[in-house]
Structure formats: C-alpha cells, structure tokens
Structure 1
Amino acid sequence: MTGTTKRIEVFRPGTFTPMSGASVTMTAEDLRGIAAAYDPAVYETPAVVGHPKTEDAAYGWAKAFSYDEASQRLVADVGDIAPAFGEAVAAKRYKNISLSLFAPGAPNNPKPGAWYPKHIGFLGAVAPAVSGLKPVSFATDDGALTFEFGDPANWLNEQQRPANSPTTEQTMTDAEKRQKELDAREAEVRKREALLQHDQNVAFAEGLIKEGKLIAASQPRVVALLDTLEAQPAAAAGTVSFAEGDAQITQSPADAVRAILADQPVVVSFGEFAGRQPAEAQATVSFASPDGRAVDATGLARLAKIEAWQKQNPGATFEQAVAAVS
C-alpha cells in the first residue's frame, strides 16, 4: 500500500439507468449531499475492479468526496492506493468508472435517508496481481444501485481537469439548461428595469432643480441614493410606516425619500423678485437737513434720475440732464 492520495471524477448530474432498476435522476444538490454525508469512520468506500458480487480486493479507499462546482463533478479523494493499480490507472488501462451507491432507503445504508457511495468500480482491464490487499465483502441484496459513469478513469491533476473532460454546458441536464436560460432572461429584465428606473430618478431630480427645491450640485447624490434604494430586493429594503393625520401610511424607502424631497421649501430663486425697482430708483442719498426743514421725497427722486442720466451721458451739463429727465 502507499500513502499517496489521488483525485478522480466519479459521477455527474443527470438521468441514469443503473445496472438494475429504473432510471434515476441525480442533481447537483444530490451529489453535494453525497459529499456531505460521507464519513469514512462509519463506512469507508473501497476502490475495486469491476463489480464485485460477494468479495474482492480493495485497491484503494476513498478518504473524502467533494462536489467540484466548476466541472460539476462528484470527486473522490482516493488513498492507500496499490502502486501497481495506480500505475494502471495512470496508463489509462481502465475505460470507465462505475459508482455504486446505497439508496436512501437501502437496509444496509450506513447513512439511512441519504445516498451513500458503496464502491468505486474501475472497468475495462484485468485486475493487477497485487498481494496483501484487504478484501471487501459485498452483499447481493443490500439495495445498492450501480451506475457506469462513462468517462475514462484518469487520476486528476490537483489544479485542472483532464483535457477530455466535457464542458459544463455538456454536463448540464435539460432542467438545469432551462433554469440557466430563465436566469439569463430574468437578469436581462432586471437590467432594463434598473436603467428605466435610473432615467426616472434623473427626471425627478431635474424637476426638483427646476422648482428650486434642490441645488444642481446635489443631483448626482440624490440619483445615486434612489438608484441604490430601488436596487435592493423588496424583502431586504423593507418599508417605512408612519401616521399622517388619522391615516397610517406605508411606503418603500425610495418613495419616502422622494416624498421628503418633494415637500422641501424653495431654496433657490430664479429671475427678478416681484416688486424689484430699477437701479436708479434704489439709489439712496444720505445728508443732514437743517432743523425744521422737511425733505421733498419727489424732488429727491427727480435728483437721483438726473444724476443717473449724467452718469450714462458723460460730458453732459446739469441743465441738459434736467431737460432730458423732464
């Protein structure tokens, strides 16, 4: 025996017909369950040649199972490998892998209620002559199902799959392909809805600016805030509830922010203020009048107009300005 541990792909999702019994569909979730349920302390799965019925030699033992998400394969870490057997596998003398599984309701299942690997069978070559191997007993009525995997029995490089391994698309079941298409359509719909909502948020912020309720510099922050709130799933975003008079109002966080902004007073004024007077009428003159004398407001305003006309017409005399204003 040797302490070397090798990895090998032993199963994939799909619908298969075992050597005995009706067709069985195994999903990715089922294979993850096999990996999670495996416990070598309870039952250690042997690597054997062919399909033993009662007793045969074990050429290795599965130390762990895992589901490789990238390749969508159930992978076994096989240890205690007989050197001659390991060399035969590396030389591709075995054409196919066969995985035997205890059904969830099988009477001898080490983990009742779950699929559990009974043995890993290597098919297509004569068993190597190796002495001192531990024999394994197999009952013929233990309720196990044996599936031929179909791919060559190759030890895996730890960093990559064999070059002839099928692609993920090829290993997907029809149901998984349909689900992938549905997911892609839903993602495209969500993308279009997000773009439409963004345009609406931009229009809302621009409307606030036109009304004088928002300064232009704040528009990007308002739009980004609304985009973020709208992008959250309804379950995560929650709602905002409050009393308005005798009514109880419930809104989404995004709608609540819109309502708060829409209720803001005007903070920016555009154009002329109502009642604004011409510049010459706003001119003020400061002086001290003699005691007991009143200031003629009309004459003061006329004087301001005369001075303003002179400023606009440099070189004109005071008399010319008086005549022009009069």
Structure 2
Amino acid sequence: MRSIRWTVGTGLLPTALIGGTVAVTLAWRSRLPESLPNSGGVGDRPVVATIGVDTLAGVLLGAALAVWAVGLLVFASTRRHSGAGRHWLRLGAQVAVNAFAAAAATALLMLFAAALDAPTAADVRLSWSYLVAVTVLPMVAAVLFGLLAYLLAGTAPPASAGGGPAVPAPAAVAGPGAPERAAEAGPVLAAGADERLVWWEIRPLRLMLWTIGALALTGVLMAAVLVPLVGVTGWAGAAPTVTALAMLPFTSYRLTIDGEAVRVAVGPLRRRVPISAIAAAEPDHLALEDWLLRSIVRGANAPDVPLLPGPALALRLTDGSRRLVTCRDVPTAVAMVNTLRARRA
C-alpha cells in the first residue's frame, strides 16, 4: 500500500499535472498568437516587448520537468536509507515536485487563457485584477497539491526497537528543577497537595514546514525564470516565497497544562480551557479524515482548533461539551488534568 502511495504521489500526479498542461497547450495552440506581452499590456499600458508562446511554454514546463527529475533522483537515492529518515526525504521531494508543477501549470494556463483568439500580442490585454489572480492562484494551487502530496505519503513507519536513541516524552513537573515523572501514569498522579504540576509540550508541524519549503522554492524558481523573460512584472512570481515567510509563525504547536488552565496554540491561534470548567479528562484519537472535515467545515472558529490528527486528550466540560487537545503522551496528560481537577473540587 505504501509503494502505491509513493507511485501515485511521485509518478502519476506530476504526470497528470504536466501532461494535462501539455495537452491543453497543444489544443489551444491554434487559437494563440505567436507571442505574448512580456513588458506592458496590463491595464492601459502599451505592449513594449513580447515573448514567444512556445518559449514561455518550454521554460515553465521545462522547469517543472527539471524539478520532477530532481525529485525522482532524491526518491531513488533514499533507497540506502531506512525508516523515518527515508520517509521524510521522499515526502519533501514529493511535496516540492507537486507544488511546483501545480504552480507552473496554473500560471501558464492562465496566461494562455487571457490570450485566446487574440490576433497579435498587442491585442492581449490583462486587467490588474487578472494579474493579481495570475499571481495568487498558482500559489493556491501549490498549497493544495502540496497538501495532497503530503496526504498521499501517509505516516512515517514506526521506529524499530533499538533503531535509534530514545526520545524522552514530555512529563509532569513538580516545581522548578524537579525530576520527570514516568510516562506510564494512572488516572491520577501520585503528587502531594503542595506540589506544583506543570506540563508543556512543543512540537514542529512538519506539514507546515514542508509547505513553507515548497512555497519558498516555487517563488524563487518562478522569479528566476520570469524576471529575465517578462521584466519587472516577473517579480510577481516571488509571491509564494513572501507567503512562506508569512506562514513561519505557524510552524510549531504548543501545549501547556498547569493549575489554571489547559492552553494550546499554533501561532496566533490560541485556545484556553480553565481547569475549573473541566469535569474529567480521558484519552481519545482523532483520525486524519475527521481532522480534515473539522478543519474544512468549522475552520479556525472551532473550539478544538488548533488541533492535529492522532492521539488526543479529551476534556469533558461541566457544560456537557467536549474538547479535544493534541498531545504526545495522552495517559500522563489525562492523569495530570484529573489530578489538577480533583485539587480544585
């Protein structure tokens, strides 16, 4: 099953993107002029210089093929690796290939669509709003196909026993500098009433990191290709890189549990559940498809956001509602919340 996912994500999906763009370009070729504006031609500005339709198609599609070839090389070179390392290398290549191919295909087809049935380059007129769309929509396509490539990769394989150094799990802390407690805890922690319990957890969001990397690479490559060809307006191709910089604050997930509240945050998205409002805590698991449905339907206004798929700490509130909180060591977190809640009862 995993090999099928890699075949679809690294082979069939880029083939569909690049091959579909080639097919549409060939079907439109008879309706396109010999050249397109590469300086001017936006709003009421006259066309100053032009670029050949075949040249533009060759550059953008050639760049997509080159990125794909690099991705296949990375994929093949990871055969010497094993486990999670190989998974993340292949995932990064797969996301980058599909994001760049989607951006290049969208930009090319939108430029061609604006020139359909125009006799010459001078007759091709772009509105400023269409120019903005040509800048933004390739970025959106890159994000969507990058996300699809990420989902096709699936989860990393579990680490084999003895295959690497053990990573210590987050633990409850009794006061500053106190030793970590064992992860295997019961329904409550064996802590004295005068002990201060604090839990914190910070983890990188790999999906966001790979998306940012794909966007940054897409913007740099598009600007490097378009600026020499179309002049100053080619810097619009750097928009994905600017977007990647704006997404940097969303690259980590933070969870804090103390005597006052359970707090979760991803960048500016923050949620707080007071301990006094919690009736009980229990373990749960949020499937990937359920997480996607929550995110699409409810968005950032959902009380569970920010939330990631996988093991979750379920909080049953005194008003009858239920909240989910992403957590690595759910059993210990459950015991800690129940202990803190019992103290306030």
Q: TM-score, normalised by structure 2?
A: 0.17
* More helix per residue: 2
